[in-house]
Amino acid sequence: MVKARIGASLLALTLVITTSMNTRPALAASAAEINRDVDAVLGKLYADVPDARALSEKAAGVLIFPNVVKAGFLLGAQYGDGALRRQGRTVAYYNTVAASYGLQAGVQTFGYVLFFMTEPALEYLNKSDGFELGVGPSIVVLDAGKAKTMTTTTMQNAIYAFIFDQRGLMAGMGLQGSKISRIDR
C-alpha cells in the first residue's frame, strides 16, 4: 500500500513537472529550428562562460545539443537533436539518445556542448556508427570554475563537455551511455 502511494505520488509529480515545463519537444526538429536553438544556446553559454568561446576557437569541431529531454520512472530515456559546427558553420546534424533502468523518476531538460579538440576525435565521431559517450576518446565535463583554470598546456583531453540549462526534476544526471548518431535534416 505504501509503495503504491509513493508510486502514485511520483507519477503525479512527473505529470505536474511535464505540463509546467515551458519548452518545445526535442523530437523531429528541422534544420532551421536546430540552427536557431544552437545559435541561442551558444550565445548564452559564451556570455555566461567566456572561456567556452576560447575553447571553441581552438576546437576542431563543436557539437551542440541545445534541448535534450530526459524522462523516467524506473525505465528512463532521453532524446535531443543537435548540430556539429566547424569554424562557426553547421556541417552536420546529430541526435543523442539514451535509455536507462534503475531507481529514477522525473522529467528534465538540459543542453550540452561537446568540444572536439583534435581531428582524430572528430574523425571518430564521423566514422563511428553511433558515437557512444564513455567509449572512445576521453571526455572531460567542465563547469565555469574548471574552464577558468584551463590553459593551452593543461588542455590535454580530446573532448570537453559543458552541461547547461537544466530544468525540471530528475534524479540521476549524466551523459554516460548516450549514443550520438548522424541524421539527415
Please check whether residue 26 is in contact with residue 4, taking contact to mean a CB–CB distance below 8 angstroms: no
- Measured CA to CA, the distance from residue 36 to residue 52 in angstroms comes to 19
Chain centroid to Cα 156, Å, comes to: 22
**Taking each helix axis from N to C terminus, what angle separates 31-48 and 50-58, rounded to the nearest 10 degrees?**
120
Q: Over the stretch 36-93, which tens digit does the pLDDT of each residue have?
A: 999 999 999 999 888 888 889 999 999 999 999 988 887 889 999 999 999 999 999 9
> Which amino acid does the sequence have at 7?
G
- Measured CA to CA, the distance from residue 39 to residue 44 in angstroms comes to 9
- Measured CA to CA, the distance from residue 85 to residue 59 in angstroms comes to 10
Count Cβ atoms below 10 Å from residue 28 Cβ, excluding itself. 10
Strand 159-170 vs strand 89-116: parallel, antiparallel, or unpaired? antiparallel
pLDDT for 156 equals: 47
- Domain segments of the chain as ranges: 2-183
Q: Over the stretch 162-174, which tens digit does the pLDDT of each residue have?
A: 888 777 776 554 4
pLDDT for 65 equals: 96
- Run of H or E including 57: helix 50-58
